[in-house]
Amino acid sequence: MNFSNRWEVVNFIAEKKIVAIIRAQSSTSLLKVVQALKEGGIECIEVTMTTPGALKTLEEVRNKMEGVLFGAGTVLDPETARLCILSGAQFLVTPSLNFATIEMAHRYDVPIIPGAMTPSEILNAWEKGAEVVKVFPASSLGPQYIKELKGPFPHIKLCPTGGINLDNLHSFLQAGATCVGVGGSLVKSQLIQEEKWEELTNLARAFQKAACGE
């Protein structure tokens, strides 16, 4: 899946609503996970840099899998950001706010979703050019926090992450979130270990329906 500029990537994420966060142990495992999620309608994938051999894994799977948007998560510094982009990452996600990392992403015309929690951090991220701001940890703050943030910041795209599940996903979107980052409640380690790909696909479908309010 190719895009001509970073705003097309942002629009795709906003349209799809869900970014699946994956910590896979190998490229083979990641490929199977991504395939299962894609069949369930999840097409935005974040591969965390805490994954062993993450850069090589990202590059291998990116070259083999069509029709999926791949990003790199847990990007802590500009050096890692550059390596992720050169390995095929189409967007970057960080757990905290690092201005140099934002600058590096934009040097390559790649969108970045930096992590922030307070109103000041969120505004600073946006002023530095972040296309979307990751509100983390979302479960501790709740959908109401997103709704309150959208009062003074209606123009800032927010992506709550951390503790998003089937029960609260739609509430976060209704509160004004552009999209959500979903980890363990969707990409369950037990399903991956036991290679229950059909169950993972069904779970992905359930999350898609929840995003639509069904």
Contact 50, 211 (CB under 8 A): no
List 38, 43, 60, 134, catalytic entry: 134
Q: What are the backbone dihedrals phi and psi of residue 188, each rounded to the nearest 5 degrees, phi first? A: -75, 130
Q: How far is Cα 153 from Cα 146, in angstroms, rounded to an integer?
A: 10
Q: Examine the residue annotation and report whether 214 is marked as an active-site residue of this protein.
A: no
List 17, 43, 46, 157, catalytic entry: 46
Strand partners, 73: 48
Q: Examine the residue annotation and report whether 150 is marked as an active-site residue of this protein.
A: no
Cis peptide bond prior to 154, omega within 30° of 0: no
Closest CA to 39 of 209, 205, 156: 205
Residue numbers annotated as active site: 46, 134
